[in-house]
Amino acid sequence: MDAPSRDSFSGKFGVIAAAAGSAVGLGNIWRFPYVAGENGGGAFLLVYLGFILAIGLPVMLSELLIGRKSQKNVFGAFKTLAPDKPIFMSVGIMGVGAAFMILAFYAVVAGWTLEYTWLAVQDGLAGKTSAELSTLFKSFSSSTVGPMVWMVVFMVMTAGIVMGGVKNGIEKYTKILMPMLLVIIIVLCIKAITLDGAEKGLLFLFQPDFSKVTGSVILEALGQAFFSLSIGMGVIATYGSYIQKKENLLATAFSVSVADTLIAVLAGIAIFPAVFAFGIKPDAGPGLVFETLPNVFNQMVGGYLFSIAFFVLLVIAALTSSVSLLEVVVAYFCEELKMKRKAATALAAGLITLLGALCVVSQDVFDVFDKTSSTILLPLGGILIAVFAGWVLGKNKVKEELEAHGGKANYVSVLIFVVKIVAPIAIGFVFLKGLGVLELIF
């Protein structure tokens, strides 16, 4: 069954770098702080951390093992493992659909980071007041030509890497660049917590106010956890299919979840003190990072170089994630529709660029893609993935895959209990409550 032509990651570090590269992205540095800001800060963070640990990690492990066991793209995986249960093929269909939607709006935001890199190089952010920086972001992001051009540039970059394949494209760069991103964020955090008035920001992020927790806050936290970990739509299953049998999947899932959470929390620490110190509203929405951090750069020694480095790395973080999204569609086109890799990449990237253009011209389309994917498609995919691992594969097959080639399988009973019962019920409940369906029943 092991087709020798199938590409794979070279080893442990490569696997973790690529999977962490997928997980760590704009979701951590752009989306997490502003969604936390809109949903009350500390209480959101707590609910979010709970979801990562109790649901995100087990679902990620399930996805990894489904992918590796089947050695297929997300659609082919379920078709191969359970040909008699077509309902699970919906995970593949929703997954490919979600990849289109997510990458469309993701590429727009990544385009903003390219524009900001360019602005930073020209020193165009220096000397601006907080109010001017807010206006700058609003007028840029609501214009058409600039964001459109940068979005297209970003999609071309993504397609270029995906055409190169897994080992020599995706893996090579992530290994070097992710550690650099971590260092820069830590320096920014140190700067942020020494700003005047930093305590307010830290309190906002770390002091939970439970009166703010509503059904929709919980659903947002779940959606953010799924989005940030890249789970629920087959990215991780697709990457799992490129992981060799000797690797330990539990260790992989654990390292990736820790790295992802760490970077999101560090981004929060870098941003919220500055939000309060510079009089920005924590619920300022998608512009939060772009409006806030340039203020910090402006107050730093070496702020010019630092701002360039930060935005370049943000572009890279976005690229290692967008590549994983495109790979889901490309693997599907290649294996199910029998296309050649280059043609599949060009077609997928072309179609997504058209959807991206829609997101540039319409804020509504942007919001619908963002919300539908993270609060509907990812949780639904997550339920099906958990149910599949727990009920369809079951304990023995899960254990067998985790132990493949002499690997160790710890905590299998806990995993099975969570994916069979806890995760489907919890996700289902949060999902219905967040959508307001439960209120209609009770």
Show the binding pattern over residues 92-131: x = contacts ligand TRP (CB under 6 A), - = does not: ----------x-----------------------------
Q: Does residue 170 belong to the site contacting ligand TRP (CB under 6 A)?
A: no
Q: Which of 48, 154, 204, 227 binds ligand TRP (CB under 6 A)?
A: 227
Q: Give 3-state DSSP helix, strand, coil % of the chain, rounded to 5.
A: 80, 0, 20
Secondary structure of residue 149 in the 3-state scheme:
helix
Segment lying near ligand TRP (by CB under 6 A), choices 21-29, 174-182, 284-292, 301-309: 21-29
Find the shortest distance in angstroms from Cβ 31 to ligand TRP: 7
CB nearer to ligand TRP: give 23 or 380: 23
Stretch that binds ligand TRP, among 241-249, 319-327, 344-352, 357-365 (CB under 6 A): 319-327
26 contributes a contact to ligand TRP by CB under 6 A: yes
Does 22 bind ligand TRP (CB under 6 A)? Our answer is yes
Among 321, 345, 353, 375, binds ligand TRP (CB under 6 A): 321
Nearer to ligand TRP, 102 or 288 (CB): 102
**441 alpha-carbon distance from chain centroid:** 33
Q: Which residue lies nearer to ligand TRP by CB, 65 or 263?
A: 263
Question: In angstroms, what is the minimal distance from the CB of 380 to ligand TRP?
Answer: 13
- 239's tokens: 């990457």
Dihedral sign computed on CA atoms, order 104, 261, 269, 323: negative
Integer angstrom CA distances of residue 14 from 11, 323, 359: 5, 15, 33
The reply on whether position 25 binds ligand TRP by CB under 6 A is: yes
Residue 28 binding ligand TRP, by CB under 6 A: yes
Question: Least separation, in Å, of the C-beta of 28 and ligand TRP?
Answer: 5
Neighbour count for residue 49 (Cβ, 10 Å) = 16
User: Rounded distance, CA 54 to CA 352, Å?
Assistant: 33
Q: Which one, 228 or 255, has the nearer CB to ligand TRP?
A: 228
Yes or no: say if 300 and 306 are a contact pair by the CB < 8 Å rule: yes
* Residue 143 CB partners (closer than 8 Å, separation 6+): none
C-alpha to C-alpha distance for 108 and 127, rounded to whole angstroms: 27
Q: Check residue 141 for interaction with ligand TRP (CB under 6 A).
A: no
- Shortest spacing between CB 200 and ligand TRP, in angstroms: 27
DSSP assignment of 8-61: ---SHHHHHHHHHHHHSSHIIIIIHHHHHHHTTTHHHHHHHHHHIIIIIHHHHH
With beta carbons less than 8 A apart as the criterion, state whether 384 and 362 touch.
Answer: no
From 18-26, 244-252, 273-281, 383-391, give the range in contact with ligand TRP by CB under 6 A.
Answer: 18-26
**Closest approach of ligand TRP to the CB of residue 22, in Å:** 5
The candidate with the shortest Cα–Cα distance to 278, out of 348, 374, 201, is 201
Contact 214, 56 (CB under 8 A): no
Candidate residues 8, 228, 255, 257; the one interacting with ligand TRP per rule CB under 6 A: 228
Q: Which of 110, 114, 170, 235: binder of ligand TRP (CB under 6 A)?
A: 235
Q: Which two tokens stand for residue 295?
A: 């203020």
263/102 Cα distance (integer angstroms): 20
**Does the protein bind ligand TRP through residue 233 (CB under 6 A)?**
yes
Nearer to ligand TRP, 233 or 357 (CB): 233
* Interface residues toward ligand TRP, by CB under 6 A: 22-23, 25-28, 102, 227-228, 230, 233, 235, 321, 324-325
